[in-house]
Amino acid sequence: MGGFNSFFETEDLDAYLMISESTHHADMYYLTRFLAPDPFTYLRTRDEELIVVSQMEYGRALKESKIDVRSGLDYGMLEKIKRTGDARKGFCEFLLEILKREDATRIAVPPDFPIFIGDELRDSGVKVNPVDGLIESERMIKDPDELAFIKKAQHACEEAMQVAIDMIKQAKVRDGLLISGDEVLTSEKIKARIIYHLIELGCEIDDLIVAPGNQAADPHCSGSGPLMANEPVVIDIFPRLQRERYYADMTRTISHGEPSSELKDMYDAVLAAQEKAIGMIRSKVTCAEVHSVVCDVFEKRGYGTIREGDTVGFIHSTGHGVGLDIHEKPSISDNDYELSAGNVITIEPGLYYPGVGGIRMEDLILVRKDGFENLTNFRKEMVI
């Protein structure tokens, strides 16, 4: 709690207050190792760290939470809601009771803290100070347990990728279409197989990309419809472990048969840019330096880049952090953040040209003090 206490001292604050209203609140899970579908409250003061949950969740929270657990009944939550006749106002009175017992009148909250609750607390004399990045800065450096979870997720990701590639490789060609069994092989069928395989491996996935041909010219197009021979398919898989909740992320671009020379040149450029960027990863290197190297490779080969203000070519950042969110800090883009040992990031350059198609390659990288560890152990070949 030393980092928080230093923050409290510097900002002249008593506590940090956060409310979770979903089972996908990464900051809350990071701090507590507990989530629930119903609202519950996190409070960190100079002396203690606690959550207050409904009585229904109390028993489970005692088993799962790594910090002190209290019940809303201890603070008269239900009585306050009943007396006010308004669930929101009653909840605010409940929060005021918590703050009063902890002698916290000057609090920090996350920037997405509900404005109604913030206004109610201020009207009752509490100083409410929204702060950004307080938890994110802690989450950027992964500890050994987190790294083990990410590696586990990455292993599942690679198994699912192999399933997808095998489906495409084993397909037959009929009138330019890929055929599996007696049916046209589609993006939807490959996605279904990926999802099923990930579930078997203890993962879940909100979405994924299997984008054939010109659809891949849109970097985040999910993809749909038939797959064609001699046409690249961008496959981007980003599963999350169901229990441990950590993500992995990987992209490959493959083709059943020989694509055009233009697409082959794009693939070679993307691979060269990725290898150049990964090779320079180590602590103290800035995100801007890594991103700039990728732009250099593309520009020297005649491709447009976001650095030059182009709307086609390389039009996104070089990568992003991965952990309890699929996209978290640091952003591997034009910023001065110095990579630190323990960062887990993607390096995923790509080229996108409407009417031609898209190519992307993505590996998951652990930053070390004097170098890097590539957590992705999966081959890179375009034609299968």
**Contact present, 245 and 27 (Cβ < 8 Å):** no
Which residues have C-beta within 8 Å of that of residue 254, sequence separation ≥ 6?
A: 165, 168, 232, 233, 235, 381, 382, 383, 384
Same domain, 168 and 122: no
Residue 365 lies in a domain: yes
Q: Look at residue 2 in the predicted model and tell me its pLDDT.
A: 53
Same domain, 97 and 174: no
Q: Look at residue 156 in the predicted model and tell me its pLDDT.
A: 98
This prediction has a pTM of 0.94
Same domain, 66 and 194: no
Same domain, 129 and 200: no
Per residue in 116-175, pLDDT (tens digit) is 999 999 999 999 999 998 999 899 999 999 999 999 999 999 999 999 999 999 999 999
Q: List, in sequence order, every beta strand (DSSP E) within 172-221.
A: 172-174, 177-180, 183-184, 203-204, 209-212
Name the band, by pLDDT with cuts 50, 70 and 90, for residue 382.
Answer: very high
Residue 382 lies in a domain: no
CATH number at residue 68: 3.40.350.10
Same domain, 182 and 312: yes
The answer, yes or no, to whether residue 113 has pLDDT greater than 90, is yes
Domain boundary residue, one of 80, 109, 139? 139
Residue 90 lies in a domain: yes
Domain boundary residue, one of 104, 122, 139? 139
CATH number at residue 256: 3.90.230.10
The answer, yes or no, to whether residue 1 has pLDDT greater than 70, is no
Same domain, 111 and 150: no
Per residue in 206-240, pLDDT (tens digit) is 999 999 999 999 999 999 999 999 999 999 999 99
Same domain, 148 and 135: no
Residue 383 lies in a domain: no
Same domain, 155 and 125: no
Residue 281 lies in a domain: yes
The whole domain housing 348 covers: 144-374
Centre a 10 Å sphere on the Cβ of residue 347 and count the other Cβ atoms it contains: 28
Percent helix, strand and coil across the chain, each rounded to 5? 40, 25, 35
Residue 269 lies in a domain: yes
Domain boundary residue, one of 139, 173, 207? 139
Number of structural domains (the chain) is 2
Q: Look at residue 216 in the predicted model and tell me its pLDDT.
A: 97
Can you tell me the mean pLDDT for 342-364?
A: 98
Same domain, 24 and 170: no
Can you tell me the mean pLDDT for 40-58?
A: 96
Contacts of 54-61 spanning 24+ positions with Cβ under 8 A: 60/34, 60/36, 61/34, 61/36
Residue 384 lies in a domain: no
Same domain, 161 and 54: no
Residue 381 lies in a domain: no
Same domain, 132 and 250: no
Name the band, by pLDDT with cuts 50, 70 and 90, for residue 6.
Answer: confident
The answer, yes or no, to whether residue 364 has pLDDT greater than 70, is yes
d(CA 165, CA 258): 15
Same domain, 57 and 151: no
Q: Look at residue 209 in the predicted model and tell me its pLDDT.
A: 98
Query: Quick one: tokens of 192?
Result: 């279904």
